[in-house]
Amino acid sequence: MLYDVFISHAYEDKKDFVKPLADKLIEYGIEVWYDEYSLSVGDSLRCSIDKGLKESTYGIIVLSENFFNKNWSQYELDGLWQLQSISKSKRILPIWHNITKEEIINYSPTLADIIALSSNEDLENIVEKIIKVIKPQGSSLIIARDTMIEYGTKPPVISDDWWLDVAISIENYGPLDRWQFPIISCSDDALPRERGHYLAWHAMQQNWVEKANSIPITQITHPEIVIDFIKKLPGLQEKCEQYPQCLLSYAPFIGIKGFEGPFLNSIESFYQASLIKQKQLIKEKSINGSGLTTSNLPPECEEELALRHPQFGNYRPSSIACTFTQGQLMGLSPRYYTIIDYVVWLLSENSNWLPQHIKNFLLIGYKEWGMWIWNKFSGNDYIYFEDEYHSKYKGCLSEALYNHDEKKFIYSKKVIEDIKGRFEFSKHILEIDDNVATLVEKFIEEKFVECYLEQYYTKLGKRRKKRKIK
C-alpha cells in the first residue's frame, strides 16, 4: 500500500472539516489519498479514485447530508465496502459530520452499526483516535518513518527511493566518519521494530553528516555554534550525550571547562571515569610513560579529554595536535582540513576566543609534530575542498627544507611567496579576515620552520649514531 488512508467526502464539507483533517493527518506522518493533493490535471477522476481505493489501507468516510446527495461519494463507498469484504478486515472508518444517527440509519443501517467518530470532537482528538486504528504495524519502513517523526524530522514517503539510498549506505557502513556515532546493529532475523529503529538512526545520522559537511562543523568551530547545530538536528543531542568520547573527537573544544553547554554532566562523568580508570591502570602498573607523554609519565586521562586536564593529561603537545586533527590511530576520523589550515587558524584572530594556554599548547604541538608542510605534488589536499592553490611558487618551501644544509634557514623571496599563497588559500577556506602578511609574520615568529629542521637533524643524528654502533 502506498497510502495509509483514503478520505471519501463531499466537496461542500472540504473547507470546514475535511481539509483541516487531511492536513493534520499529514502533519502526523500519515500518507493520505485526498483529491486536493492526489489528483493532477488531466487525471481520470474514476481511475484516480479506483487507484486511491486500491492503494490505501483504510478509508475514512465523512458522512454528512452533502455526502448522501453525491453520486461519486456513493461510488467510493461501494468500492470501500467491496475492498473490506474481500480483505475480511476493518477498512472503513466513518466520521459523522453534522448529522444524526437517525439520518445515518435512514441512509444505511449497516453504516450506522459501525462505531464512528463525530466531527464535533476536537480535531486533535479525532486524529489521535484515527492514528490508533490506521497506524500500520509490522513494517520496518513504517517503524523507521514513525521513529524519525517522533524525533521531530519529516522523512520522505516510504515509497521514495531515498529509503533505498539509506539502506545502501547501511550496507557500506564501515569505520565511523565525521559526526557518526555507534548504532547497535541488528541481525537478519531481528524483529521489525528493531530493524525499523536501526534504519531510522542511520537515516538521521546520514542527515547529521550531510549538514555538518555543508556548514561546515569541524574541530575548530566555536562550541556555541556546534551546540546550536546539535540542538537543531533530531536525535543528535541524544547520541552526543550517550557517546561523549565521539563528541569530543568531532568537537574537542566542547571538552574545555566552561564550554560544555548542555553536555556538562556527560563530559564531566566521562572525565571522572577516565581519571579513575587511568589511576587504576597506573596502580596496577598496566601502563607507563610512552612516546605520547612527557617526561616518561603515564597518561592521566583519555586523549580526547586532554584539553580538560590541567596538565593536558601528561600528553605531549604533538600527540594532542595529532589526535585533534585526525583522531586516534584506528579510531574516529574527525579531520576536515589539511594540517596547515589548522595552523593558520591558530595563528589568526579567529582563534582568540580559545584560552591562551590551550592555544599555545596546540601551536607547540603542531610545531613538534612537523606534519604541516605542503608540497608541489599535494594534489587534492583537502577532505572536502578541491586544492586550488596552484601558484608557480607552490612547493618552494618544502624544496628549500629538503635542500637545507644545516646553516641558518633563509626565507627567500620564493619561499615567502609560497607561504603567502598557501596562507591566502587557507584564509579563503577558513573564511578568516586576518591580513595574510600578518599571518606569515606570525608563522615565522613562531619558528615553525626552525622547529621542523631541528627535529629533522635530531632524528638524522640518531639514525647516523645507530649506524656507527652497528
Give catalytic residue positions.
Answer: 76
Amino acid letter for position 1: M
Instruction: Give the C-alpha separation, 281 to 300, whole Å.
Output: 10
Task: Give yes or no for a contact between 260 and 267, defined as CB atoms under 8 angstroms apart.
Answer: yes
Instruction: Give the C-alpha separation, 350 to 221, whole Å.
Output: 10
Length of the chain as a residue count: 470
Taking CB atoms within 8 Å and a gap of at least 24, the contacts of 228-237 are 231/262, 233/204, 233/207, 233/208, 234/148, 234/151, 234/152, 234/153, 234/204, 234/207, 235/151, 235/153, 235/201, 235/204, 235/205, 235/208, 236/179, 236/204, 236/208, 237/262
Task: Give yes or no for a contact between 100 and 107, defined as CB atoms under 8 angstroms apart.
Answer: no
Examine residue 334 and say whether the peptide bond preceding it is cis (omega within 30 degrees of 0).
Answer: no
Instruction: Give the C-alpha separation, 48 to 38, whole Å.
Output: 8
Which strand (E) or helix (H) includes residue 60?
strand 56-63
C-alpha cell read off for 265:
554532566
Task: Give yes or no for a contact between 427 and 436, defined as CB atoms under 8 angstroms apart.
Answer: yes
Task: Give yes or no for a contact between 436 and 347, defined as CB atoms under 8 angstroms apart.
Answer: no
- 336 DSSP assignment: -
Task: Give yes or no for a contact between 322 and 244, defined as CB atoms under 8 angstroms apart.
Answer: no
Taking CB atoms within 8 Å and a gap of at least 24, the contacts of 44-51 are 45/72, 46/75, 49/75, 49/76, 49/79, 50/79
The CA-atom distances, in angstroms, between 149 and each of 89, 132, 184, 255 are 27, 16, 20, 31
* DSSP SS3 for 117: strand
φ and ψ at 103, to 5 degrees? -65, -35
Amino acid letter for position 356: Q
